[in-house]
Amino acid sequence: MLRHHSALRAVAPAAVLALTLSACGGGDDAGTDAKKSSRPKASASQSKASSGGELATGESATGKVEEEDGKVTYEITAQKVDLGTEAEAEKLVQDKADAKGMALAVAHVKYTHKAGPALTSDSDAGDGTTIWADGQRGTLLLGSADDAPGCEDPYDVTSWKSGESHVFCESYLVPSNAKSLEVHWSEEDGEPYIWKFPDE
């Protein structure tokens, strides 16, 4: 379910956020992928699909990510998407025009370390995550979800052993009237796993 929150988070100053320049639908714009330049080389598999595909709410995919400490297998589950308001989005950007008709969407994705070496530095597991609204990719916001409720800052997770789970969040601007949001996770050149969150 797509969850609406009128007070989504304590808003960080616009100066510390980096709003990418691509608009919704700019699927291959280099700007939106600026944060993803070191996306993990992941190969994901799941019982319903071996190379991406749509997953039900609560269903998990399995992916391997090449971390600094070696290749780690993760179980990945998109838990929910929180959708804020246009007024909140305006506070997150330097130019309010960038937020016209837009809202902040925060995807909560749980990663469970299933196999591989224990991590001694931050993980790249979340780098393959994007948010789409009504079939178009949103506009990435850097840093705006690190302290959102229920989210962990991946840079603070520097010790991660098999069996342990962490929830990392991604933030995007999407049309405020979006009827359906999707969380995608994929390898850099692979087909995405897709979790849909309709507005109910």
Q: How confident is the model at residue 155 (pLDDT cuts 50, 70, 90)?
A: confident
Q: Per the domain annotation, does 92 fall within a domain?
A: yes
Does 11 have pLDDT greater than 70?
A: no
Q: Which CATH number does the domain housing residue 78 bear? A: 2.60.40.1240
| Average pLDDT, integer, range 137-147 | 78
Does 128 have pLDDT greater than 70?
A: yes
Q: Per the domain annotation, does 25 fall within a domain?
A: no
Q: For the chain, how many structural domains are there in total?
A: 1
122 three-state secondary structure: coil
Q: Per the domain annotation, does 13 fall within a domain?
A: yes
pLDDT of residue 10: 36
Antiparallel, parallel or unpaired: β 70-83 and 2-4: parallel
- Give every CB contact of residue 195 below 8 A, 6+ residues apart in sequence: 54, 55, 56, 57, 59, 78, 182, 183
Q: Is the dihedral of CA 11, 14, 17, 18 positive or negative?
A: positive
- Torsion-angle region of residue 143: left (phi > 0), alpha (psi -120 to 50) or beta? left
Q: How confident is the model at residue 108 (pLDDT cuts 50, 70, 90)?
A: very high
| Average pLDDT, integer, range 133-149 | 82
For residues 193 and 184, the answer to whether their CB atoms sit within 8 Å is yes
Phi, psi of 111 (to 5 degrees): -120, 125
| Average pLDDT, integer, range 159-180 | 93
| Average pLDDT, integer, range 179-193 | 86
pLDDT of residue 36: 39
Does 92 have pLDDT greater than 50?
A: yes
> DSSP per residue over 8-75, as a string?
-S-PPPGGG-EE-SPPTT-TT-TTTTSGGGG----EEEBTTBSS-EEE-TT--EEEEEEETTEEEEEE
pLDDT of residue 64: 85
End-to-end CA distance of the chain: give it in Å, rounded. Answer: 6
Q: Per the domain annotation, does 106 fall within a domain?
A: yes
pLDDT of residue 141: 85
Q: Per the domain annotation, does 127 fall within a domain?
A: yes
Q: Per the domain annotation, does 131 fall within a domain?
A: yes
Q: Per the domain annotation, does 110 fall within a domain?
A: yes
Which residues face 180 on adjacent strands? 198
**What is the overall mean pLDDT for the chain?**
77
Q: Is the dihedral of CA 40, 43, 45, 51 positive or negative?
A: positive
Q: Per the domain annotation, does 24 fall within a domain?
A: no
> Bigger pLDDT: 149 or 110?
110
Full domain range(s) for residue 102: 2-19+30-198
Does 125 have pLDDT greater than 60?
A: yes
Compute the distance between CA of residue 133 and CA of residue 94 in angstroms, rounded to an integer. Answer: 23
Antiparallel, parallel or unpaired: β 165-175 and 139-142: antiparallel
Does 21 have pLDDT greater than 70?
A: no
pLDDT of residue 76: 95
Q: How confident is the model at residue 88 (pLDDT cuts 50, 70, 90)?
A: confident
pLDDT of residue 97: 86
pLDDT of residue 198: 77
